[in-house]
Amino acid sequence: MLRIHPEGKFILLYGLLIILCFNSLIIQAIGFKKPVILICMVCISVLLYAWMLYFFRDPIRTINYQENGILAPADGKVVVIQEVEEREYFQDKRLQVSIFMSPFNVHVNRSPVAGILKYYKYHEGKYLVAFHEKSSTKNERTTAVIQRKDGTEILFRQIAGFVARRIVFYPEVNDNIQQGEEVGFIKFGSRLDLFLPLDTKLRVKVGDHVQGGISVIA
């Protein structure tokens, strides 16, 4: 049975109403004199709505708990691994790992580690394509920092993409978060960046496809 994420229920309802209204207007305009056009419109509508259902799917996951590991916070493709200067929170050099979520990936975001949410901030911004090198600092985004029980802090950043217009993040500062716990959702194409200590031992490389809450990043 297909499970739909709560973030998609209103969009799916409104989307269905818009599609039905649009098709009704087409039928009123041309009647049934051009069946080929009507069949094409119905097929396009069905395919579009099927894709919307697929996008907002929420598969049941068995979390691959790793006490000393860092799990993928999202489904997608690793597009960036580099040493960068993280200027918002750490103010020092960190290892950045970026995961690009295409419109065909599951868009549920999960906590890469267990710990306490020490910092959170939402930033308004632009809507550059999510794989653009400046999207991490220019696009609409959130920044969250989780402190593990050993004191290590992991920063991850939700980044809106070209068609995304809403980022959702659920926990609040000082909340205790479990590894693999659902913490947010980004609607449509987007990206998620991890900022890790420089001595982190990575288990992924650029081009790898990962699954949130399952794949071990480091």
Query: So where are the chain's domains?
Result: 6-55, 76-210
Query: Which listed residue (98, 135, 136, 190) is catalytic?
Result: 190
Measured distance CA(137)–CA(210) in Å, rounded: 23
The pLDDT value recorded for residue 134 is: 52
Measured distance CA(153)–CA(155) in Å, rounded: 7
Measured distance CA(108)–CA(18) in Å, rounded: 25
The pLDDT value recorded for residue 97 is: 97
Q: State the number of CA atoms in the 13 A half-sphere of 204 facing the CB.
A: 28
The pLDDT value recorded for residue 63 is: 96
Under CATH, what is the fold of the domain 76-210? Glucose Permease (Domain IIA) (2.70.70)
Q: Is 190 one of the catalytic residues?
A: yes
Strand ranges (DSSP E) for the chain?
Answer: 76-86, 92-101, 108-110, 115-123, 141-147, 153-160, 167-169, 176-177, 182-186, 190-196, 209-210
pLDDT 10s per residue in the chain (218 long)?
Answer: 668 999 888 889 999 999 999 888 888 888 777 788 888 888 999 999 998 898 889 999 999 999 899 999 999 999 999 999 999 999 999 999 999 998 889 999 999 999 999 999 998 866 555 455 555 556 788 999 999 999 999 999 999 866 555 789 999 999 999 999 999 998 776 889 999 999 999 999 999 999 999 999 99
Strand partners, 132: none
The pLDDT value recorded for residue 74 is: 95
Please say whether the beta carbons of 143 and 121 come within 8 A. yes
